[in-house]
Structure 1
Amino acid sequence: MGMAIRIGSGAGFSEDRIDPAVDLAERGQLDFLVFECLAERTIALAVAARQADQAGGYDPLLEERLRAVLPACYLNGTRIVSNMGAANPQGAARRAAEVARDLGLVGLKIAAVVGDDVRDRIDELEPFGQEPPPTEDVVSANAYLGHEAIAQALDEGAHIVLTGRVADPSLFLGPMVHAFGWGADDWDRLGRGTAVGHLLECAGQLTGGYFADPGFKDVADLARLGFPIAEVRDDGSAVLGKLENTGGRVSVATCTEQLLYELHDPQAYLTPDVTADFSTIVFTDLGDDRVALSGGGGGPSPRKLKVSVGVDDGWLGEGQISYAGPGCVERAHLALSIVDERLALCGLEPLDARFDLIGIDAVARGAAAVTAPSEVRARAACRMSTEADARRVGREVAALYTNGPSGGGGVSTSVRPVIGIVSGLIDRREVSQTLYWEVS
């Protein structure tokens, strides 16, 4: 079977729990610990943060995560890969070096992967589902990079690799290519490695998080959910599991659900590295929260890379108010109709508007309650062109205290900028990856 490496998933999104990653760093006997922290809108918000502070723009939990796991990773020889660089990988590398020095860890090599920012080529993008937005509305434009620079950084001795926008499975594929020396056209192994990365990328989703449904799919001890580990062989096969004495479960069912997560064509899962074929993957239950993965393959990588484009999309004004007791639903409907009419009387035209009764029709639009609830929360949310107009939404909800139906209380209001996301395509030859280095 050849050699094997152990890869742990330390995060599945930017605000994920940190303690499961610490447990992996301390007890996981890992070769690599990977933190996937970058969603489509996350990087657009990070770009906006960097515009406000040129030293910022990386993941806000970067320092806290590194302080928590670096001592154990250093002691155990575990190398870290993450897209916590977000909109400022170089700044993230500098901060990581400072954290390492503060911890007394001298000589750590930290690489930042640069090259995903393609805002200066926004006019070259091909539309992908939507027409490109006006240039003046563009906040960010980031191409999905592949594994190449990650593998190169590890080849050159990096202890920590921090990236911006990289395809999620590529964060995990880079360590595999580094460890096993897979060729750039070894499509079947790259496809299987991508499947492993896809399974690990959402962390707790593989070990029972998001899977749990009491009475149908029970998962024990979710408050102590353990994050997953993959023991990957040089042929791309793997065994998936979690640490002993942690909550959650790893089963054929949890693995199957995660394999299908955000999947369009299982025979052609497009990434910057490979067109992966998941249709022949087989999961085998080994017991004790261990599942073997075999099968799968791949074909040549796409000629074009996906680009995630963040656009300025106005301001969201929101207000909520609760009603309880007999007639609460009717009073809540009346309250929302008042807000809607008040906005019209003030000459305000929302770009989008939603008036919901949370628990009745906020998610399942048009649904009817089976029984009359004893309480309900009314929500008005309107996307407006200006911040001032968005603030008016919350003010009108607050005015319901004394200008609306009886018994309203517990008002909350908020205003925030809206970052919209559209996608485009760019010729991969127009995008290059480079490395920036820091040493602690």
Structure 2
Amino acid sequence: MRTIRIGAGAGYSGDRIEPAVELAEHGRLDYLVFECLAERTIALAQQARIRNPNSGYDPLLTARMRAVLPACRSNGVRIITNMGAANPVAAAQATTQLAQQSGLRGLKVAAVTGDDVLGDAKQVDLPLDIGGTVRDLGNRVVSANAYVGGGAIAQALADGADIVITGRAADPSLFLGPLIYEFGWALDDWPLLGKGILAGHLLECAGQITGGYFADPGFKDVAGLARLGFPIGEVREDGDLVITKVPGSGGQVTAATVKEQLLYEIHDPARYFQPDVIADFSAVKVRVIGPDRVHVSGATGSPKTGQLKVSVGYVDSYIGEGQISYAGPGAVERGRLALEIVRERLALTGVRTNELRFDLIGVDALHGEKFSQGSAPYEVRARVAGRTDSLAEAARVGEEVETLYTNGPAGGGGAWKSAREVIAVASGLIPEAAVKATVQMFEV
């Protein structure tokens, strides 16, 4: 049976670039996939596109392409990515321009569009999981993008694309698309599609499965994290899967790293809802077959729901924050006094907040005073954060922290402040039939 090798070049927008270059040069790949979209990322990209119609794609797109394109072209590696974010067409155009400047001819770049469903979401007044509907959010709505599947990616590859750039495709679908194309899997062969989703789910977070997020010194030691290698999936025509990495790269692929990634962000392992299929991981078996080689089998699938998840980005509020450090004897006591001063100042000056936090980082910032224990630390950092309805009001929170420099307590330093808009995400469901993913091709 035929086997193809798919490498994961990124697990989020700001991921390292060197491991992807290593994969392109030494991974003997057929495909290199960059998964770079989180829930809020595309809403932020839509804001950028509003400010500049030629932007709205991943800010590292050009750097990533410049780094891997030469090796990918030399080694016959095709690239698939969701770095198109809010503007796949502009991303494709930027990629073709880069290829021209690099002297790479005969390159076909496909932009997959259709995931932007803001107009439809407003028209049908999409119900949201936060309660209410899209219309209830009014002019605070920034974006609405549906999670499309692997079908359009497969079509782009069939049309001859060397690079496929999508917007909000489901993460595992980026890996499923080439499997559908290469092996001719039917779009209603649910068991095979379920196996493909398993491969995509295991690969999508890149360094997590090779020991990155897995590492915990003294409990789960991992060597070579500074030059962590990203994973490769060897996928056979029948869906059989082996996870591995480039020999000699940092990190590790073990049964434990694979199992942790298998369970990552899974609600019901027997019913993992995806645009292409409902995947079933409940009978998956993991078996080590060699150094950094793990065989994974047992996934299957059932018919998809006919509905697609929609992520709706909206302006939720504004957050003002201030921080200042205290060190030496009495650092905790001075830090707590600093927090009490700011608490009183915010009330005295009438700063209007919807929510306030007062934390001593390193003491109680994550789990609160209830879980704070042990000897007093030598140094602490006091942090105050407030949620407000305006940017101007948010700025006042950090300003009050900054005034602690000269208004007590003693020894404060390294003050920092910020005020920022908060983009939140809500979710809803839209009929799959309402979303038409299309392919637009560009050539160098």
Provide the TM-score with structure 1 as the length reference. Answer: 0.98
Match for residue 267 of structure 1?
Answer: 270
Match for residue 316 of structure 1?
Answer: 319
User: Structure 2 counterpart of 1:30, which letter?
Assistant: L
Match for residue 9 of structure 1?
Answer: 8
Match for residue 128 of structure 1?
Answer: 129
**2:359 match: secondary structure:** strand
User: Structure 2 counterpart of 1:40, which letter?
Assistant: E
Is 1:433 equivalent to 2:437 in the alignment?
yes
Q: 1:387-426 CA deviation, whole Å, 9 max, x = no partner? A: 1111111111110011121111111112221101111111
Match for residue 203 of structure 1?
Answer: 206
Find the partner of 1:221 among 205, 221, 224: 224
Matches of 1:107 and 1:269, distance apart in 2: 39
Match for residue 68 of structure 2?
Answer: 69
- Checking the alignment, whether the CA contact within 8 Å between 2:352 and 2:393 is kept in structure 1 is no
User: Pairwise mapping of residues 175-324 of structure 1 onto structure 2 (< 5 A)?
Assistant: 175-324=178-327
**2:238 match: secondary structure:** coil
Matches of 1:354 and 1:439, distance apart in 2: 53
Is 1:392 equivalent to 2:377 in the alignment?
no
User: Pairwise mapping of residues 46-85 of structure 1 onto structure 2 (< 5 A)?
Assistant: 46-85=45-84
Is 1:353 equivalent to 2:356 in the alignment?
yes
Matches of 2:72 and 2:152, distance apart in 1: 22
Give the Å deviation of 1:327. 1.8
Matches of 1:238 and 1:130, distance apart in 2: 41
Give the Å deviation of 1:128. 3.0
**1:146 match: secondary structure:** coil
- How many residue pairs end up in the alignment? 439
Give the Å deviation of 1:337. 1.7
**1:126 match: secondary structure:** coil
User: Structure 1 counterpart of 2:290, which letter?
Assistant: G
Compared CA separation, residues 13 and 318, structure 1 to 2 (3 A): same
Q: Which stretch of the first structure deviates more once superposed, 281-290 or 131-140?
A: 131-140
**2:290 match: secondary structure:** coil
Unaligned runs of 5+ in 2: none
**1:134 match: secondary structure:** helix
User: Structure 2 counterpart of 1:42, which letter?
Assistant: T
- Checking the alignment, whether the CA contact within 8 Å between 1:126 and 1:426 is kept in structure 2 is no
Q: 1:68-105 CA deviation, whole Å, 9 max, x = no partner? A: 00000001110000000000000000000001111111
Q: 1:226-261 CA deviation, whole Å, 9 max, x = no partner? A: 000000001111110000111000000000000100
- Checking the alignment, whether the CA contact within 8 Å between 2:172 and 2:200 is kept in structure 1 is yes
- Checking the alignment, whether the CA contact within 8 Å between 2:351 and 2:396 is kept in structure 1 is no
User: Pairwise mapping of residues 417-428 of structure 1 onto structure 2 (< 5 A)?
Assistant: 417-428=421-432
Matches of 1:357 and 1:129, distance apart in 2: 31
Match for residue 158 of structure 2?
Answer: 155
- Checking the alignment, whether the CA contact within 8 Å between 2:351 and 2:397 is kept in structure 1 is no
Matches of 1:269 and 1:396, distance apart in 2: 47
Q: Which stretch of the first structure deviates more once superposed, 63-72 or 366-375?
A: 366-375
Matches of 2:116 and 2:356, distance apart in 1: 33
**1:40 match: secondary structure:** coil
Give the Å deviation of 1:129. 5.1
Give the Å deviation of 1:270. 0.3
**1:253 match: secondary structure:** helix
**2:172 match: secondary structure:** helix
Matches of 1:247 and 1:212, distance apart in 2: 12
Q: 1:343-385 CA deviation, whole Å, 9 max, x = no partner? A: 2222222122211111111112232131111110011111221
- Checking the alignment, whether the CA contact within 8 Å between 1:316 and 1:383 is kept in structure 2 is yes
Matches of 1:352 and 1:116, distance apart in 2: 34
Matches of 1:393 and 1:35, distance apart in 2: 39
Provide the TM-score with structure 2 as the length reference. Answer: 0.97
User: Structure 2 counterpart of 1:383, which letter?
Assistant: R
User: Pairwise mapping of residues 38-53 of structure 1 onto structure 2 (< 5 A)?
Assistant: 38-53=37-52
Find the partner of 2:409 among 405, 410, 413: 405
- Checking the alignment, whether the CA contact within 8 Å between 1:307 and 1:426 is kept in structure 2 is yes
Matches of 2:251 and 2:169, distance apart in 1: 28
Give the Å deviation of 1:325. 1.7
Give the Å deviation of 1:318. 1.1
Give the Å deviation of 1:126. 3.0
Matches of 1:7 and 1:152, distance apart in 2: 18
Give the Å deviation of 1:287. 2.1
Q: Which stretch of the first structure deviates more once superposed, 16-25 or 331-340?
A: 331-340
Find the partner of 2:145 among 142, 162, 166: 142
Q: Which stretch of the first structure deviates more once superposed, 22-31 or 120-129?
A: 120-129
User: Structure 2 counterpart of 1:253, which letter?
Assistant: A
Matches of 1:289 and 1:333, distance apart in 2: 49
Matches of 1:288 and 1:368, distance apart in 2: 42
Match for residue 380 of structure 2?
Answer: 376
Q: Which stretch of the first structure deviates more once superposed, 368-377 or 159-168?
A: 368-377
Matches of 1:365 and 1:308, distance apart in 2: 31
**1:425 match: secondary structure:** strand
RMSD over aligned Cα, in angstroms? 1.0
Match for residue 33 of structure 1?
Answer: 32
Matches of 1:30 and 1:130, distance apart in 2: 45
Is 1:331 equivalent to 2:330 in the alignment?
no
Q: Which stretch of the first structure deviates more once superposed, 10-19 or 313-322?
A: 313-322
Matches of 1:383 and 1:18, distance apart in 2: 35
Give the Å deviation of 1:63. 0.3
State the identity as a percent.
Answer: 59
Q: Which stretch of the first structure deviates more once superposed, 364-373 or 280-289?
A: 364-373
Matches of 1:228 and 1:192, distance apart in 2: 17
